[in-house]
């Protein structure tokens, strides 16, 4: 099994990218995404973090 480190889009901890299955699994919060979904969520996360990181942090933490 081939794995690489990735950052979890949900809890921001270290997740694993499984190259063979082409998915991302986070053992901290249970997140499981296909690689395509992961990339999409990373883009959305980056955009929302840039726009209102402080506001979302205060209201909802990482969610």
In the complex, the residues that contact Zn ion under the rule CB under 5 A are 8, 10-11, 26, 28-29, 31
Q: What SS3 class is residue 52?
A: helix
| Number of neighbours of residue 33 by Cβ within 10 angstroms | 21
Nearer CB in complex with Zn ion: 11/42: 11
Which residue's structure tokens are 């699994």?
Answer: 25
Nearer CB in complex with Zn ion: 19/45: 45
Nearer CB in complex with Zn ion: 10/56: 10
- State the minimum distance, in angstroms, from the CB of residue 27 to Zn ion: 8
d(CA 36, CA 56): 24
């Amino acid at each position: 099994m081939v794995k690489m480190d990735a950052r979890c889009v949900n809890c921001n901890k270290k997740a694993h990218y499984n190259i063979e299955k082409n998915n991302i699994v986070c053992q901290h919060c249970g997140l499981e995404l296909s690689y395509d979904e992961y990339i999409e969520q990373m883009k959305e996360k980056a955009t929302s973090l840039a726009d209102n990181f402080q506001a979302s942090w205060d209201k909802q933490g990482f969610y």
